[in-house]
Amino acid sequence: MSTTKQLLTSVQVARFVAQGFLRLDGVVPQELNEDAIAALSAGIPAVSYGTPLAKAFQEDTFIHRLLALPVVAGALESLVGPEPTVDHHAVHVREPHEGSAQDLHGDAIIDVRPDAFDVQLMYYPHEVTADMGGTLSVPGSHLRRINETDIGRVQNLRGQTRLTCPAGTVVLVHHGIWHGGRRNDTGRRRYMYKIRLNPTVPQVRLWDTSDLHDPAVTAELNTYFPWYEQATARLEIHNRVLLWRALTGDDTFDIDYWVTRVTNRPALRSHA
Buried b / exposed e along 193-211 (16+ C-beta atoms within 10 A): bbbbbbbeeebeebbbeeb
Reported in sequence order, the residue ranges of 184-255 that DSSP labels E, i.e. its strands, are 190-198
Q: How far is CA 243 from the centre of its chain?
A: 14
At 125, the pLDDT band (50, 70, 90 cuts) reads very high
C-alpha span between 104 and 153 (Å, rounded): 8
Selected from 2.60.120.620, 3.40.50.300, 2.40.50.140, 3.20.20.10, the CATH number assigned to the domain covering 10-198 reads 2.60.120.620
- Domain residue ranges in the chain: 10-198
pLDDT in tens, 52-97: 999 999 999 999 999 999 999 999 999 999 999 999 999 999 899 9
- Average pLDDT on 208-227 reads 97
Q: What is the DSSP letter of 7?
A: P
Residue 272 has pLDDT above 60, yes or no: no
Sequential DSSP letters for 217-235? HHHHHT---TT--TTTHHH
Residue 269 burial by Cβ neighbours in a 10 Å radius (0-12, 13-18, 19+): exposed
CB contact set of 75 (below 8 Å; sequence gap of 6+): 6, 7, 8, 22, 24, 170, 172
At 48, the pLDDT band (50, 70, 90 cuts) reads very high
Residue 211 has pLDDT above 70, yes or no: yes
Contact at 8 Å (CB) between 31 and 82? no
Q: Supply the pLDDT for residue 5.
A: 82
CB atoms closer than 10 angstroms to residue 215: 9
- Average pLDDT on 31-48 reads 95
C-alpha span between 270 and 268 (Å, rounded): 7
Q: 1-5, 54-58, 240-244: lowest mean pLDDT where?
A: 1-5
Q: Supply the pLDDT for residue 230.
A: 87
pLDDT in tens, 147-200: 888 888 888 899 999 999 999 999 999 999 999 988 899 999 999 999 999 999
